[in-house]
Amino acid sequence: MLKQQMDRTFGGPTVSGRARKSAQSGWFGGARETNLCCSMCSRVFPNGRHRNVDGAECCPYADCEGLVRDAADWSSIRREHPNYPALPWLGIQYPLHPPVQKITA
């Protein structure tokens, strides 16, 4: 995907940086996760893509304040939600927690 397409998808300018290591990759390498899922907005983005906000690497979606360091590896999300796709769509919210049920008396 071209940078212009990425920026349009995320709603503003983004930066392509170094991909974050997976928590399971260990000290000496291992595969880097292809996609990360923001813990704040529950949307997926390519590992290494972010916005720079006051020196912090933030979720690439312009309407989100989440930090990249708090994002989860997509593979770990899929372990908890096996019905989610192996290749997630950008811009789609994938709920990380079950919806809160309102209790009425």
| Cα separation, 34 vs 100, whole angstroms | 30
* pLDDT in the model for residue 66: 95
Residue 61 lies in a domain: yes
* pLDDT in the model for residue 20: 75
| Domain, as residue range, for 39 | 35-96
Residue 81 lies in a domain: yes
Whole-structure pTM value: 0.81
* pLDDT in the model for residue 13: 87
Residue 9 lies in a domain: no
Residue with token string 């930066």: 15
Per the structure, the count of domains in the chain is 1
Strand partners, 72: 37
Residue 3 lies in a domain: no
Mean pLDDT per 10-residue interval, the chain, length 105 residues:
84 85 56 88 94 93 94 93 94 82 71
Cα 49–chain centre separation:
9
